[in-house]
Amino acid sequence: MITKFSFPTEIHFGPGARHLVAEHLKQQGVKRPLIVTDRGLAALAILHDFAESLAGLDVKVYAGVFGNPVKKQVDDGAAAFRAHRADCVVGFGGGAALDVAKAVALMAVHEGSVLEYAWDHPKVRPITNALPYFVALPTTSGTGSEVGRSSVISDDATHVKKIVFNPALLAKAVFADPELTLELPAGITAATGMDALTHNVESYLSPAYHPLCDGIALEGARIAAHALETAVTQPKNLRARSDMMMSSMMGAIAFQKDLGAVHSCAHALGTVVDMHHGLANGIMIDHVMRFNSDAAGTKMAELARVCGGGATAASFVEWLAALKGRIGIPARLGDRGVRASDIPRLVEIAVNDICHQTNPKPVSAADFERIFTQAL
């Protein structure tokens, strides 16, 4: 059996990496970059200072990203790209902004709807044209979208998430600067950190064959386990912030091996109740791991060992629950307003989500119903 591996992204990692962007773009012949970011960052000095650092370039900012990104945000961003006659996309923000930035680069040079490029579209459009030069600067440590080859965009009406997956979406260069995360509030740090941890855990547990990703995921989980609480409680701790940014990238690199049922649950919660993706992962991870424990006991025990949570699958579940409590992640869905009446729709979305196809054990609709009910 032949398996293809690829880890091609150029990464500039460390405090101050953002200051390298201007010279890098100039070396690439870029003259008119479009910065794609979110509404919250657009109002902060951190974005203004970054835009100012691109002196000598004709910079335009598109700040139409908010919440879970939808098709209209991509359409508006692509229109901004064309209006500026841009020759480059600079993604600056968390996972939503970076996902939209990739999709803007795609739709700036392609026709139709971005949702028609999703992998599961019945008549999926091919990516035929070279995309504009794209660089990414993450401002959270969670999705790892900066090193990913996918973009998650929702339908405006149904809010169903669609995934555009193609190596063409990879950033040409990543500038991972942990100083950009120092001002994140504790709640966002915790939720995005649980997203990073979940990526590493689910990638490691996936039955797909990819030993390279297994090694990255296990170390990524170890790093997050020892840094996340410090990043939440000591927000100016640059070492903890750096470790979480690295763990986030490692999780996103590893999940080319695929994910699991935690993500199917989280995608359903994002669709039905518009829950933040990292928060949804954080709430659901121990409940799904309890379900997985009889099928992935050996690997979960190894996760327990490296995370400092014992040496059994059960102790790993207990460690996850305790970590959530220490960093302010709700133990149950009901704590965030999810109701029993939401469960049928949650099950419908989750069972149709691709991620659980690489869960350590099969997950039926009845299984999802039990998991959501027990998590309520």
Please say if the pLDDT value at position 131 is more than 60.
yes
Average pLDDT along the chain: 95
Q: Give CA separation, 237 vs 177, 222, 307, in Å.
A: 14, 18, 20
pLDDT at 309: 86
Q: Where are the domains of the chain?
A: 10-181, 186-375
In the structure, what pLDDT confidence band is assigned to residue 1 with cuts at 50, 70 and 90?
low
| DSSP annotation of 67 | S
- Classify strands 150-154 and 161-165 as parallel, antiparallel or unpaired: antiparallel
User: Residue 232 corresponds to which tokens in the numbers above?
Assistant: 């939440």
State the Cα angle at 302 between 297 and 308, rounded to 5°.
120
In the structure, what pLDDT confidence band is assigned to residue 209 with cuts at 50, 70 and 90?
very high
pLDDT single digits (tens) 9-42: 889 999 999 999 999 999 999 999 999 999 999 9
Burial class (CB in 10 A: 0-12, 13-18, 19+), 340: exposed
User: Residue 336 corresponds to which tokens in the numbers above?
Assistant: 């965030």
Q: Where do runs of H (alpha helix) occur along 43-116? A: 45-53, 71-84, 95-107
Spell 248-279 as b/e; 16+ CB within 10 A means b.
bbbbbbbbbbbbbbbbbbbbbbbbbbebbbbb
User: Residue 154 corresponds to which tokens in the numbers above?
Assistant: 């929702």
Please say if the pLDDT value at position 2 is more than 70.
no
pLDDT single digits (tens) 239-273: 999 999 999 999 999 988 899 999 999 999 999 99
pLDDT single digits (tens) 146-167: 999 999 999 999 888 888 999 9
pLDDT at 232: 98
User: Residue type at 35?
Assistant: I
Number of other residues whose CB lies within 10 A of the CB of residue 5: 9
- Read off the pTM: 0.93
Paired with 89 in beta bridges are 34, 134
Residues near 324 by beta carbon (within 8 Å), at least 6 away in sequence: 194, 282, 283, 286, 330, 331
Report the C-alpha dihedral over residues 226, 228, 233, 236, rounded to 10 degrees. Answer: 100
Element (H, E) at 36: strand 33-38
Q: What DSSP string runs through 142-177?
A: SS-GGG-SEEEEE-TTT--EEEEE-GGGS-SEEEE-
Span 186-375: which CATH code? 1.20.1090.10
> What architecture is domain 10-181?
3-Layer(aba) Sandwich (3.40)
Please say if the pLDDT value at position 5 is more than 80.
no
pLDDT at 160: 83
In the structure, what pLDDT confidence band is assigned to residue 84 with cuts at 50, 70 and 90?
very high
Please say if the pLDDT value at position 195 is more than 60.
yes
C-alpha–C-alpha distance, residues 311 and 300, integer Å: 8
